[in-house]
Structure 1
Amino acid sequence: MAVDMTATTAVPSHGAFARFDHLLGRTVEALAAALVVAELVLLGTATAARYLFNAPLIWSDELATVLFVWLAMLGAVVALRRAEHMRLTAFVRNLSPAWRARTDALGLMLVCAVLVALVMPSWHHVESHLISNMPVLEISEGYREAAMLVGVLLMLLTAVDRLIQQASPLQIVGALALVLAGAGLLYAAAPVLEDLGNYNLLIFFFVLVAAAMVIGTPIAFSFLLATVAYLHFSTTVPVLIVPGRVSEGMSHMVLLAVPMFVLLGALIEIAGLARAMILFLVSLIGHMRGGLQYVLLGAMYLVSGISGAKAADMAAVAPALFPEMKQRGSSEGDLVSLLSASAVMSETIPPSIVLITVGSVTGVSIAALFTGGLLPAVVGLIALSVVVFLQTRKEDMSGAQRYDAKTRLRLFAIAIPGLGLPIVIRSAVVEGVATATEVAAIGVIYTVLVGIFFYRQFDWKRVYPILVDTASLSGAILLVVGAATGMAWALTQSGFSQQLVDLMVAVPGGRWGFLLISALAFVVLGSVLEGVPAVVLFGPLLFPIARMMGVHEVHYAIIAVFAMGLGLFTPPFGVGFYLACAIGRASPDEVIRHVWPHLAALLIALLLIVFLPWISIGFL
């Protein structure tokens, strides 16, 4: 999962407004960080009670869900304050500063508009749940659903705050005028829109979503904008349904694994696990031609199995290897290109957040997905290794350091805790010892203990910022899941799903034609929407078609995830490609010339995964 970190430089503010803004930001961040810790403690306690003492806490799942919805909404507020919501920046990146400021103002105004439209529906949604009690905790469901209302209000306050700080009065007035003019046009056209039937889907879910995303509006808010506008202007369905669908989409218990694995991915770096594994791999093959490139691929395979987040994977591996690789003569373009491609290769390695999302929204067994995802990543690794071999066969290795057997054994002993963590995680989930959520909490506790008592380099000063980062990234991901769930519901109610079934069934070539078209579609979706929103939006629509066509659901899921990863890291639209460039501190213009051999190898790997189902399901 890649997140655009580009933020417009804020205009400094002063006085009471600045103090209020600072206090609000600190308070929301502290609450979000506290909720991450609370979820970790609750999951750890519940797991210990169930498996060690055989005394399950029957109320733990309900309480975890309540805390989780609040974490998701407060995390979304933090992400909005820090400009860390996922968005498409390919079109606005090269605009002049003046036009970039105007488009940013318009994007924020659209965020304000959709949040204003959701305030009263969110209030009514909470009211409707006040009289219902949770079955185990026996408290009102309003305590859980109030998170939606509070989150909407805080995000609205934050969006207005960002708008005031970042835009001039003239830009604010211009953006408001454009939004009001668009709303007025839709209001005037409402009688006509109601008669257009499913052609409305093109207007709202294609044109409006595309227009909002092109100007840099965060993906989640683009989805919400289209859904609210579609329901309000072209149907008789009340907008009241949207907060409920968003809350439902975010509150699946399995998605609680997202913040836990994001936290785990950050902790392995400060605890020393990632560096220990990398040093051991360097001692084994670092002296070979292309040795460090192979180490990079191997490290990404191992680290992906721990963190589950692409940004964390690349940030853990690149700083440890790039300096030495540059000393050996590797160009920045080749290095960042390989880093980007290795992130695609490892997309299906458990515990991938996208795999967890697939299981959540389609009902496919997460244990089966974790088992099925390992070998496809090996195919991608072999394909990239061939490219590395061809590119480095003339590399001068005369100055490369060689390690003796004693040093290798010592580094192996040091790396054992790190090497054992992904094995523990995968085994616990696959064998049914713990759920994906529980094993993430176990992994976090394990990593903290190893960092403190084994590596003795755990930096406690970095923990609080990591907790806030975890809440922010999780909120950004989960709001997309919730928004896409609402949008997918609207598409389903419109009858679009049946039309999509009819269209896909008619694809020439039967099952293989369907798989090829699906792979192409997911590459495109991955480049534009990224993995999580694309899965949530189209998974419930396409997976039933795959089952009807006789395609194994795990095989189809692996194709979808690998293809979306390929799209995510493919220029010029793939956000992951630019994230890799940022982590590698290289210009995209330089890297883009080197990326094509790696992408070609990954495309061959994708075709092998499509046409050889055994790669995905042979070990199930």
Structure 2
Amino acid sequence: MIEHAAEPLASPAHAARTARTAGTPPPASARWGRILACLVELPAALIVVAETLILGGGAFARYALHAPLPWTEELAGILFLWLAMLGAIIALQRSAHMQLTTFISRLTPQRRAWVDACGMWMVVAFLLLLVQPAWQHLVEHVEVLTPTLEVSEAWRAAAVLTGTVLMLVTALIRLFERASRTQAALSGVLVGLGAGALWLLSTGLMELGNANLVIFFLLMLVGCVAIGVPIAFAFGLSTLCYLALSTATPLSIIPNRMQEGMSHLVLLAVPLFIFLGGLIEMTGLARAMIQFLAALLGHLRGGLQYVLLGAMYIVSGISGSKAADMAAVAPALFPEMKQRGAKDGELIGLLSASGAMSETIPPSIVLITVGSVTGVSITSLFIGGLMPALVGLAMMALVVWWQTRKEDMRDVPRPSGRALLKLLVVALPALALPVIIRTAVVEGVATATEVSTIGIFYALLAGVLMYRQFDLRRIYPILVDTAVLSGAILLIVGCATTMAWALTQSGFAQDLVSIMSAVPGGKTGFLLVSALAFVILGSLLEGIPAIVLFGPLLFPIARMVGVHEVHYAMVVIFAMGLGLFAPPFGVGFYAACAIGRVSPDVAMPRVWPHMAALFVALVLLTLVPWFSIGFL
């Protein structure tokens, strides 16, 4: 499975606390790790606040005062790149970068320690090799001025260099903190010998042509991912080695492409929606919404299952994290559902499938990413994403109806109309939030990036004035967590953008066009093959890496064979979501198991009816374009 959750037992802060508890001074690596965390976390949190104020102020000035501020987007873009790099540093400190652990999780602890040490040396190798190109990239941009603020572009380029250096320091701290001296030394020698062998073979590699794609983007990339190297660093290392050892391309192109990939202003919605998700949970909006839905449908057969589906449909996509969506809904419903006789495995199957179903619901981070890397209109994606999820919801509702058709509901009280009305009044501010966000984008009040600030200010006001739930002590951790998840996502976007560029320059894109254009069945065959491919890619790479890497390559082919770009986006996103939540590799399935506190071995045999329902929905979406583009 792919992990992107922090492992707190390995953090520098935990090591320091453990050492203090034991009465011994913390190790030097833990002390330096804690100092570095203090230096990075506060600026990252402040940037999240600054981005919210800048974009929110810009939207207010343009729409309410009719006096646009031309410098807001430029300043927000510069700060955004710093946020991405600082977040990536904290994510590395917290082991929060996405990584495949399916294979290494089966190793004994001793063997896994050796493999982890080798993997961290590969991270170190990538960052060490990136320092000089990042410096050169900075030097090249010193004399270039931004068009509006007229400040040096070096402020933007410095974020990449600073992030690279601090991630290198962080990786070394983590390496010597987790591995013994023997493991660190021997694994370093092993990785060094491999690097030396590739360097000695570089002359021969130059003559192999596109055979190098197999060496670097198949063997090396798959090998790195299999041993647990975080996906972003695996992408970056494979691309860097390919360009350095088999082409004459200057390596300064790597930080340039990374910066370009992470600088799309529409991606700024990622951290802001993640921050909004944290506020929704803290201020009680999610709880009020779920309580109303439970009262409305809870007395029906399978009522709470329908509530879970409805709640995921409403809140999904706002937090930026499927795990956060599921964690906001499941704990409020699972205890009562189990009391009514629901089986653990069926609950996990429903939770997993609802997470997959809701990938197309705006303001999904995946939708925003697709729009960023492919040029498809975000507004069109937001409009088109509601119906595909509704098709998936309908298919899963049929499964719920079948599984609960004999449920005994005689002892379940039905709430009075007065009680239901009271809960509705309490829930109205929460139910209004998704409507406000989606309406603001569709009506042009704010861009997909700015609309997140509307949601943030609305959630703050609702929490303070209506729900009276606002804990200032939780704001800073939410801001830091926002930076962590954003950094993990955006570093993947940057490295995958670089890899996609390298594949395009190699001629692979043209070969892919030829292959996919020759698929039997015309555009229907192309859609079916794409759906199957993204089910597999979603299972192995998770959604955003798969979309960023293959979206720029496949969307032009879709246009060429006559597939509407929004229809194609919905098919591949839904397929990716199915793979993301399907066992045995899908990370979403294991996240659902962790949230529901159910063993994967118990849940896996019972998840398949829900996955089958989603597969039927995927076929319908593929064959009936109206579900995706009927309301455009």
Q: Give the TM-score taking structure 2 as reference length.
A: 0.96
The alpha-carbon deviation at position 17 of structure 1 amounts to 4.5
Structure 2 counterpart of 1:486? 498
2:347 matched to 1:335?
yes
Structure 1 counterpart of 2:115? 103
Among 77, 95, 99, which residue is 2:89 paired with?
77
Structure 1 counterpart of 2:241? 229
SS of equivalent to 2:219: helix
SS of equivalent to 1:126: helix
Among 277, 280, 287, which residue is 1:275 paired with?
287
The alpha-carbon deviation at position 325 of structure 1 amounts to 1.0
Among 454, 457, 464, which residue is 1:442 paired with?
454
SS of equivalent to 1:410: helix
**Alpha carbons of 1:31 and 1:2: their partners in 2 closer, same or farther (altered >3 Å)?**
farther
2:238 matched to 1:260?
no
2:237 matched to 1:241?
no
Among 465, 468, 493, which residue is 1:453 paired with?
465
RMSD over aligned CA atoms reads: 1.4
Separation (CA, whole Å) in 2 of partners of 1:209 and 1:310: 26
The alpha-carbon deviation at position 16 of structure 1 amounts to 5.0
**Alpha carbons of 1:169 and 1:551: their partners in 2 closer, same or farther (altered >3 Å)?**
same
2:574 matched to 1:562?
yes
Separation (CA, whole Å) in 1 of partners of 2:600 and 2:464: 39
AA in 1 matched with 2:567: H
Structure 1 counterpart of 2:357? 345
Structure 1 window deviating more from structure 2 (397-406 vs 136-145): it is 397-406
Among 540, 548, 551, which residue is 1:536 paired with?
548
**Alpha carbons of 1:530 and 1:18: their partners in 2 closer, same or farther (altered >3 Å)?**
closer
AA in 2 matched with 1:174: L
Structure 2 counterpart of 1:495? 507
| Unaligned runs of at least 5 residues, structure 1 | none
AA in 1 matched with 2:5: M
The alpha-carbon deviation at position 120 of structure 1 amounts to 0.5
2:401 matched to 1:414?
no
AA in 2 matched with 1:176: G
Q: 1:570-609 residue pairs with structure 2 within 5 A?
A: 570-609=582-621
- Structure 1 residues 32-77: Cα deviation after superposition (integer angstroms, max 9, x where no partner): 1111111111111111111111111111111000100000000000
Structure 2 counterpart of 1:123? 135
- Structure 1 residues 448-505: Cα deviation after superposition (integer angstroms, max 9, x where no partner): 1100100001222111111110000000000000000000000000000000000001
2:373 matched to 1:365?
no
Q: 1:150-549 residue pairs with structure 2 within 5 A?
A: 150-549=162-561
2:160 matched to 1:148?
yes
Separation (CA, whole Å) in 2 of partners of 1:26 and 1:399: 55
Separation (CA, whole Å) in 2 of partners of 1:487 and 1:324: 48
The alpha-carbon deviation at position 19 of structure 1 amounts to 2.9
The alpha-carbon deviation at position 191 of structure 1 amounts to 1.9
Query: Identity across aligned pairs (percent)?
Result: 61
Separation (CA, whole Å) in 2 of partners of 1:399 and 1:92: 48
Asked whether the equivalents of residues 274 and 318 of structure 2 are also in contact (C-alpha less than 8 Å), the reply is no
Structure 1 window deviating more from structure 2 (88-97 vs 547-556): it is 88-97
AA in 1 matched with 2:158: A
AA in 1 matched with 2:618: L
- Structure 1 residues 14-43: Cα deviation after superposition (integer angstroms, max 9, x where no partner): 255433321211221111111111111111
Separation (CA, whole Å) in 2 of partners of 1:20 and 1:489: 37
Structure 2 counterpart of 1:4? 4
The alpha-carbon deviation at position 8 of structure 1 amounts to 8.3
Separation (CA, whole Å) in 1 of partners of 2:477 and 2:81: 21
Structure 1 window deviating more from structure 2 (127-136 vs 95-104): it is 95-104
Asked whether the equivalents of residues 99 and 231 of structure 2 are also in contact (C-alpha less than 8 Å), the reply is yes
Separation (CA, whole Å) in 2 of partners of 1:56 and 1:8: 44
Asked whether the equivalents of residues 29 and 177 of structure 2 are also in contact (C-alpha less than 8 Å), the reply is no
The alpha-carbon deviation at position 6 of structure 1 amounts to 5.6
AA in 2 matched with 1:601: A
- Structure 1 residues 437-458: Cα deviation after superposition (integer angstroms, max 9, x where no partner): 1100110110011001000012
- Structure 1 residues 311-370: Cα deviation after superposition (integer angstroms, max 9, x where no partner): 221111011111111111212221112111100111100001000000011110000000
Asked whether the equivalents of residues 3 and 101 of structure 2 are also in contact (C-alpha less than 8 Å), the reply is no
**Alpha carbons of 1:306 and 1:20: their partners in 2 closer, same or farther (altered >3 Å)?**
closer
How many residue pairs end up in the alignment?
620
SS of equivalent to 2:316: helix
AA in 1 matched with 2:268: L
Asked whether the equivalents of residues 46 and 60 of structure 1 are also in contact (C-alpha less than 8 Å), the reply is yes
Structure 1 window deviating more from structure 2 (170-179 vs 276-285): it is 170-179
Separation (CA, whole Å) in 2 of partners of 1:386 and 1:93: 36
Separation (CA, whole Å) in 2 of partners of 1:110 and 1:367: 40
| Unaligned runs of at least 5 residues, structure 2 | 17-25
The alpha-carbon deviation at position 3 of structure 1 amounts to 5.1
Asked whether the equivalents of residues 33 and 471 of structure 1 are also in contact (C-alpha less than 8 Å), the reply is yes
Q: Give the TM-score taking structure 1 as reference length.
A: 0.98
Asked whether the equivalents of residues 81 and 259 of structure 2 are also in contact (C-alpha less than 8 Å), the reply is yes
The alpha-carbon deviation at position 396 of structure 1 amounts to 2.1
SS of equivalent to 1:437: coil
Separation (CA, whole Å) in 2 of partners of 1:159 and 1:20: 12
Asked whether the equivalents of residues 228 and 242 of structure 1 are also in contact (C-alpha less than 8 Å), the reply is yes
Structure 2 counterpart of 1:610? 622
